[in-house]
Structure 1
């Protein structure tokens, strides 16, 4: 697994060098701007993704409103906010999509861009990325979904 997430860890280390020592400590939820801020980050992420030739095709046919809601809830919950994620599991959401390391890393880069556009401090960016890294194995190289599970409307 280390070999697969090494690029993301390198990205974390590079951005960690930019962290200002005087940033106030706060909960990750607060640092992301609470639910309203998280929703704005996700909105900007989705705009970035559709323009990113590396991964835009992975989002074709996805219900964007549902994706926005589920991803906002998921990030809110990961940030210890008062949200509950009720979407499908990560393996079910990504089954058969052929998500590669390059796709995973491209989305991480796009998320960083969205956070930067929303003024999220680098330390908070790193904390969120650290929460997302454990999801790697549930997203990358998932086998095809069993027959009858063709719905991708809730895929984060």
Structure 2
């Protein structure tokens, strides 16, 4: 039941952000309340450490991350989530389309990654409302990341 509720909430968050799907980059905001709810830079660093561990343990996600520079990926994710959540960070890496080019990411892969992220946020005790706010900000990136039907 909890899983079904989480998926419904995710769907609601994605539909709520539907107007943003045409954007190519996450919106920056002066409001840092989401950044604070995620635990600031320290909380994000811990979250991404745990997220990477879970990605590598997940048979669906492992192929995408096992041969990557995992430390670099974690650092980029911290910067990206810090930025989109209203924190002081700015990520200077390639856009999401270029970063995922040639990785053959499907919608199922994208959804699996979101599932792992949700589980990681749950395990870290991030409030459900903050989780949905973050997912709504990240959702517009799906058009740049999914590159295989």
**2:10: which partner in 1?**
12
**2:83: which partner in 1?**
77
2:9 and 2:132 in contact (8 A); partners too: no
Question: For the aligned residues, what is the CA RMSD?
Answer: 2.2
Alignment TM-score, normalising by the size of structure 2: 0.78
Indicate whether 1:120 and 2:118 are aligned. Answer: no
Indicate whether 1:52 and 2:50 are aligned. Answer: no
Deviation at 1:10, TM superposition (A): 3.5
Q: Which runs of 5 or more residues in structure 2 are unaligned?
A: 1-5, 14-31
User: Of the candidates 91, 105, 116, which is equivalent to residue 110 of structure 1?
Assistant: 116
Alignment TM-score, normalising by the size of structure 1: 0.75
**2:42: which partner in 1?**
36
Structure 1 consecutive aligned stretches of length 4 or more whose deviation exceeds 2 Å = 8-11
Structure with greater helix share of residues? 2
**2:102: which partner in 1?**
96
Distance 1:11 1:140, change over 3 A: farther
2-side partners of 1:80 and 1:74: how far apart? Answer: 10
Q: Deviations over 1:96-150 (max 9, x none)?
A: 11100111001001001111111100000000000110000000016xxxxxxxx
Distance 1:102 1:137, change over 3 A: same
Give the count of matched residue pairs: 126
1-side partners of 2:11 and 2:96: how far apart? Answer: 26
Indicate whether 1:133 and 2:139 are aligned. Answer: yes
